[in-house]
Amino acid sequence: MSQFPNFLDHGYQVEKELSQNRAGGRVAYLANDLKNNCKVVIKQFQFAKTDATWAEYDSYGREIETLRRLDHPNIPRYLNSFQTEAGFCMVQEYKPALSLGTPRTFDPQDIYTIAKSVLEILVYLQSRIPPVIHRDIKPENILVDENINVYLVDFGFARIGDGELGMSSVVKGTMGFMPPEQIFNRQLTEASDLYGLGVTLVCLLTNTKSVDVGNLIDINNRISFRHLVPKLSLQWVRWLEKMVEPNLKQRFANAADALAAMPSTLIVPEALFSVSRLDLTSTRLGEKLSRKISLRNRVPHTELTGKWSVAPHPNDPPHTPDRHTWISVTPPTFQGNQVDCLVTVDTAKLMSNKVYERQLLLETNSVPKTYKIDLKVQTAAVVLPSYSLPYPLLALLLLGAGGLTWVLAWVVMVLGGVIESPTTAIFAAILGTALGLEIAGWVLGASGATVGAAAGVLAGIMVGGGVVLITPLVKGVELGIGAIASLGIGAIAGISIGIATGAMVETLLAHRFNRPFALWVSMLTVAVGAILGLGGVVGFLNPFVLVALLTTGLPLSALLLQLPLHRARLLSDYHRAEQFLIKP
């Protein structure tokens, strides 16, 4: 024999029990309507088997009266009612959906749909003439099917009409979901049902059971839930707080106002960065540095928006959130769930060889609202021309030229005094030197050292000029042994000095000195060395030696001092300009 009641005489066959409230004498069954061949819900009030009072029985009459007035697809329709020996029965349209009191998981978009759907039902109820106040909005009275179709049930505590919006002699509803005005049996309004819906939404968002809703009430009798929903958008938090506002006057006036004010986004996106900090290093002054930051939002049904700015710094010039003196981010604003942003740093306005630390700020619609990215910039050191002269080689060239000249002068004096006249010996020695320099130039040119060859040829021409100057002083030159010896020694000296001078020119060119500088430094070094060697033989107080030293030494000194003086001037100019640059 079936354990379910027999309603066959009334045309219904019970299939299973859906829910029960023994204390209130209410049991709901799923049954088959034999006449129409459809599923129905039969709610039986078993007043004969329980301690229920007539007030509970009266709720059935109230529910029937209410449902007969309603015609909404999300409110199960009243179909029939009948009397049995066990109690009074009401037949209602069946919706294949579970109540929110049944443990289930909903994503944020589902909860948003549930909230919107219940509000639309309440808008319909409150637009009736007279309006209908449900008075028992809670998870157990809201059904949701697999397609998130929402239905509002159990109108046993409902109030209809202006007269019934006022106070009742009996407080009816569910603790935790009743607003204060209902608990204290005060005037109810269209805002009263919003409180129950708000608490229901809080339960869904915080995964709180109906029986545990009291745990969310603080000492001020407010529903405290902010700390439990960190990813809920701030707009939704504020909207929900207004829904569960204990003060009736601070709640939304009705469901239409609440629906119009409901924010479009339930939860906020989450910004994930490809880097947590940026370290940029400049290799040259005035360089522009760039680095890409990729952002991603992994929260479904949301879209990330953001705006970049640079945190204020005491050493930066005044700037606006949209424009910074030396830091920029492209694009400055964005909207999307996969975004690449380019951070560009212009070091032209920064001091050299310094470390700059700043913060990039990203204002978003996510939680947290503001993200901070540390930025560290290392600027390049001042790189001035680093052309350093090969002083050891110049000194060796100077000594070599001086030594050869000294030897040549002694030989010429000895030969001129013993064999022939000094004038003839000097003439031959100078002529041989000029020829040796030309030969050295030819040798260097043949080896590919074209600039060094030019130095040898030019030196040969200049020495040859000396031959022209002393030619009038030479009378009756005879090519004796002394003259030939002087000529040969001069040629050897000329070839040696010419090759050494050409090699020095090529060395200076390899050190990135320009051609005129390399030629003149090399030739003047040889000239000064030769004069010093000559002075070692004839005496440094010789007028010719003194004049020659001045005319060659001063230009050589000026050339040698040119580089350090130029470097010092550039460094001074830069340090003077640094006072206008941005400090770290």
**Sign of the torsion formed by the C-alpha atoms of 536, 540, 543 and 546:** positive
Residue 327, Cβ neighbours under 10 Å: how many?
21
* CA 372 remoteness from chain centre: 8
> Which pLDDT does position 442 carry in this prediction?
81
Amino acid at 434: A
Alpha-helical segments (H) within 207-349: 234-243, 255-261
Q: What is the 3-state secondary structure (H, E, C) of 377-388?
A: EECCCCCCCCCC
100-267 CATH fold: Transferase(Phosphotransferase); domain 1 (1.10.510)
Strands in 271-273's sheet, in edge-to-edge order, are: 271-273, 288-297, 338-346, 327-330
77 DSSP 8-state letter: P
Distance from C-alpha of 135 to C-alpha of 77, rounded to nearest angstrom = 19
The answer for 25, left when phi > 0, alpha when psi is -120 to 50, beta otherwise, is: left
pLDDT tens digits, residue range 210-219? 999 989 988 8
Which CATH architecture does the domain made up of 1-94 adopt? 2-Layer Sandwich (3.30)
The side-by-side arrangement of strands in the sheet containing 355-364 is: 277-281, 370-378, 355-364, 305-310, 333-335
Partner residues linked to 359 by β-bridges: 374
DSSP string covering 520-573, please? HHHHHHHHHHHHHHHHHHH-TT-HHHHHHHHHHHHHHHHHHHHHHHHHHHHHHH
Q: Which of 107, 316, 285 is nearest to 207 (CA)?
A: 107
* Residues of the chain scoring pLDDT < 70: 1-2, 22-24, 47-58, 161-173, 383-387, 413-430, 432-434, 436-437, 440, 452, 456, 459-460, 463-483, 545, 570, 573, 577
Distance CA 104, CA 276 (A): 37
Could you write out the DSSP letters of every residue in 163-177? GGGS--SS--S-TTT
CATH number of 275-378: 2.60.40.10
pLDDT at 386: 61
Query: Domain limits of the chain?
Result: 1-94, 100-267, 275-378, 392-569
- Kindly report the number of other CB atoms within 10 A of residue 339's CB atom: 17
**pLDDT tens digits, 267-295:** 888 888 999 899 999 998 889 999 999 99
Can you give the three-state secondary structure of 319-367, one letter per residue? Answer: CECCECCCEEEECCEEECCEEEEEEEEEHHHECCCCEEEEEEEEEECCC
pTM: 0.58
- Give the pLDDT confidence score for residue 75 in this predicted structure: 96
| Cβ atoms of residues 401 and 525 within 8 Å | yes
